[in-house]
Each structure stands twice: as structure tokens, then as C-alpha cells.
Amino acid sequence: MSKLIFLLAAFIGLAAFNPATARTMDKQRAACERDSHKFCAAEEPNAIAVERCLRAHMNELSSACKRQFRAKRR
């Protein structure tokens, strides 16, 4: 639980610099939170490692989470 809180705090802290970034990060977190816990719990709270892990599991992710990764590439 403390790892999740730390990860969320890191997202909020980074997002505070730009409101548009905050909305994007909120969407990403909401779309990928379950997948993150399912596949990448050992990587939390390291956001970079979690993203790397999620990318490694791309074929297994929920469609909502996959959409966020596709949107991020644009």
C-alpha cells in the first residue's frame, strides 16, 4: 500500500508542473492501474520500471491501458 501511495505522490508531484500533463497522467494511471498491480507490482514505486514492465506485457494489457501507450507515442 505504501508503494502505491508513493507512486501516486510521484505522479501528482510531476503533474503539478503542468495541468495538461496532470490530466494525461490521471488518465494513464486510471487506465493502467490494475495492469500495473497485476504484472508489475514488484517494480513499484519506480515509475520508469513500471512503464518498462507494462511495455513488456503489452499483449496482456487491458485495451484501455494499451490505448494510453498508443496515445503517448503521438
Which tens digit of pLDDT belongs to each residue from 19-61? 665 566 778 888 899 999 999 999 988 889 998 999 999 999 9
31 closest CA partner among 10, 45, 49, 11: 11
**pTM value > 0.75:** no
Neighbours of 40 (CB within 10 A): 20
Residue 47: predicted pLDDT:
87
